[in-house]
Amino acid sequence: MNELAKELAARYGARDWHDRRGDLSSTVVDPIRLHDTLAWLKDSAGYAHLSFATAVDNIERGVFTLTYTVRNHEQGHSLMVHADVDRANPVVDSIHLLWGQGWTYQREMKEWFGIDFPGSPRVDEEFVLEGWEGPPMMRRDFDSLAYSDATYEGRPGRVTHDPATRMQERLYPEAGK
């Protein structure tokens, strides 16, 4: 473990440090310490560039895993900071005062996953969808096919094959018998 991992562990309880590549590492913090961790990384550790922020729906564990990727351009190193927030009550501190572009990512996460960032500018406005009335559509318990069938008129007669079984039947017809 390197100096930065020790420092983060001591200051913010960061754990599970993982060197994914030579220039990319990841670590996990508690969501309550997310804002402080990112502020310290930005102001004191040289990770001044927020290059990406998104969420992953880990429905098996009942959490959304937020991922913030920050980059230190002087050392050529990127760090992914993960934090698990409760799926039932997804509220996270906004980082728009640390990075100006942060509110765009947060608006996206609000619309796609329903994760709230109180105080983030325009977070309640629609982002890419217009007039969307369904539940947040990137949540994994949202049934896209059922929604599509209920909302959009289909053309009768469409047949869909499972690619694996279809090709097996066509290429090796004797195997199915």
DSSP state string for 44-65: TSS--EEEEEEEEEETTTTEEE
Q: Tokens at residue 94, please?
A: 């906004």
Residue 21 binds to other proteins (criterion: CB under 8 A): no
Contact 19, 1 (CB under 8 A): no
153 binds other proteins (CB under 8 A): yes
In the complex, the smallest distance separating the C-beta of residue 143 from other proteins, rounded to whole angstroms, is: 9
Binding range to other proteins, per CB under 8 A, among 6-14, 66-74, 76-84, 141-149: 141-149
* Residues of this chain, 58-117, that bind other proteins according to CB under 8 A: none
The whole-angstrom separation of Cα 80 and Cα 50 is 10
Q: Which residues of 50-66 are buried (b: 16+ CB within 10 A; e: fewer)?
A: beebebebeeeeebbeb
User: Of all helices (H) and strands (E), which one includes residue 113?
Assistant: helix 102-113
User: How many residues touch other proteins (CB under 8 A)?
Assistant: 21
- Binding window for other proteins (CB under 8 A); candidates: 10-18, 55-63, 76-84, 127-135: 127-135
- In this complex, which beta carbon is closest to other proteins, that of residue 24 or of residue 137? 137
Q: What are the φ/ψ torsions at residue 62 (nearest 5 degrees)?
A: 75, 30
Contacts of 71 (CB under 8 A, 6+ apart): 47, 48, 49, 51, 77, 78, 79
Nearer to other proteins, 75 or 148 (CB): 148
Question: Residue 162 interacts with other proteins (CB under 8 A)?
Answer: no
Instruction: By CB under 8 A, name the one of 22, 151, 175, 176 that touches other proteins.
Output: 151
Q: Pick from 39, 59, 129, 167 the residue near other proteins by CB under 8 A.
A: 129
- What residue ranges bind other proteins (CB under 8 A)? 128-134, 137, 142, 144-145, 147-148, 151-155, 157-158, 160
